[in-house]
């Protein structure tokens, strides 16, 4: 039943990350309470999805990230030498910000929750249906931040691994939510919209940086900021250590515990492994303390 790649395959970029939706004994209790309840077995996505969809803690966290982004935006606009992409001589270019979409600006937790309640796995078919339904919501704080940036004359580019065929529905979804749409500039840079616009977003970031001074990057995955996001946990840590001064300054990371390359790094990005094998490797990647006094 776990043959499909996860949302990360399309969205996280660079990798075929499989969401772990693990087989487990179906809970027998209270199967009549709601139709969904009958289909809810133990599932590794449950807590992450519940947190993102129903907790005030998630909302507070996202809002804080974007609130800091507003303060930093003012600072970056005042300093013409500032660039989130270490551009030199970009001081005369108009300012822009680059944001990932899924789980950065728009919230797909209803789709992820549906995977839990139906005990099913991601598929490109159901994901496409979800995007065409135009039901994504605003990530808390994102709308406020982007309206603020728009009012300051900052161009807003959305660099997403949603595909070119999903552009119109994505735009309609976001327009209805009130997001700045870019005017006469195509600010939705979709995966595969151009031959070299692959899941690695570097070419698209560079495309924007040719004509704009990029003053902030926002994402929920390390690869929204750098091509060095792939690799082992240790390799990612080493890359992070080199770049960490950007975070909280001109790079801003949203929390996404439901999927991402953080997960596949735990099983060596070996997407051919079974879900059980992946799960074993993820458990092995933990650094536990265990009591000596017994349970
Ligand atoms: Mg994302």
CATH for 7-283 (3.30.70.600, 3.40.50.1000, 2.60.120.260, 3.30.70.260): 3.40.50.1000
Query: What order do you get walking across the sheet with 188-191 strand by strand?
Result: 188-191, 155-163, 95-99, 213-219, 251-253
Please enumerate in sequence order all residues whose Cβ is within 8 A of that of 54, keeping only pairs 6 or more positions apart, or say none: none
DSSP state of 89: S
Name which of 208, 246, 247 is nearest 97 in CA terms.
208
Residue 289 CA to ligand 1 centre (angstroms):
32
pLDDT tens-digit profile of 69-123? 999 999 999 999 999 999 999 999 999 999 999 999 999 999 999 999 998 888 9
Stretches in the chain below the pLDDT threshold 70: 1-41, 294-295
Give the start-to-end residue ranges of the domains of the chain. Answer: 7-283
Residue 190 CA to ligand 1 centre (angstroms):
13
User: What pLDDT is attached to residue 38?
Assistant: 47
User: What pLDDT is attached to residue 12?
Assistant: 47
Q: Which residues surround ligand 1, an ion (CB under 5 A)?
A: 100, 102-104, 220
User: What pLDDT is attached to residue 107?
Assistant: 98
pTM higher than the cut 0.75: yes
- Identify whether the C-beta of residue 219 lies closer than 8 Å to the C-beta of residue 104: yes
Residue 29 CA to ligand 1 centre (angstroms):
35
Residue 89 CA to ligand 1 centre (angstroms):
30
- 34: region left, alpha or beta (phi > 0 left; psi from -120 to 50 alpha): beta
Residue 218 CA to ligand 1 centre (angstroms):
9
Residue 26 CA to ligand 1 centre (angstroms):
31
CA distance 83 to 72: 12
Residue 162 CA to ligand 1 centre (angstroms):
9
């Amino acid at each position: 039943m776990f043959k499909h790649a996860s949302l990360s395959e399309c969205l996280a970029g660079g990798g075929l990350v499989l969401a772990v939706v693990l087989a487990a004994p179906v809970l027998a209790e209270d199967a009549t309470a709601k139709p969904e309840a009958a289909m809810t077995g133990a599932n590794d996505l449950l807590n992450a999805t519940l947190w993102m969809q129903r907790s005030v803690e998630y909302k507070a966290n996202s809002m804080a990230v974007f609130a800091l982004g507003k303060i930093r935006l003012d600072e970056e606009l005042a300093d013409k030498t500032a660039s989130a992409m270490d551009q030199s001589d970009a001081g005369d270019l108009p300012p822009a910000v680059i944001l990932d979409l899924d789980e950065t600006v728009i919230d797909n937790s209803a789709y992820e929750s549906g995977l839990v309640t139906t005990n099913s796995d991601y598929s490109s078919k159901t994901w496409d249906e979800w995007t065409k339904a135009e039901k994504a919501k605003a990530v808390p704080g994102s709308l406020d931040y982007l309206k603020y940036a728009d009012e300051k004359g900052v161009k807003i580019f959305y660099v997403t691994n949603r595909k070119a065929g999903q552009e119109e529905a994505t735009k309609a979804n976001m327009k209805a939510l009130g997001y700045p749409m870019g005017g006469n500039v195509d600010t939705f840079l979709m995966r595969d919209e151009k031959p070299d616009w692959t899941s690695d977003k570097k070419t698209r970031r560079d495309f924007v940086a040719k004509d704009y001074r990029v003053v902030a990057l926002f994402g929920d995955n390390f690869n929204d900021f750098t091509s060095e996001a792939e690799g082992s946990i240790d390799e990612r840590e080493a890359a992070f250590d080199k770049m960490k001064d950007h975070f909280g300054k001109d790079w801003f990371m949203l929390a996404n515990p439901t999927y991402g390359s953080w997960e596949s790094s735990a099983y060596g990005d070996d997407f051919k492994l079974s879900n059980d094998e992946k799960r074993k490797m993820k458990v092995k990647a933990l650094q536990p303390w265990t009591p000596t006094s017994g349970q």
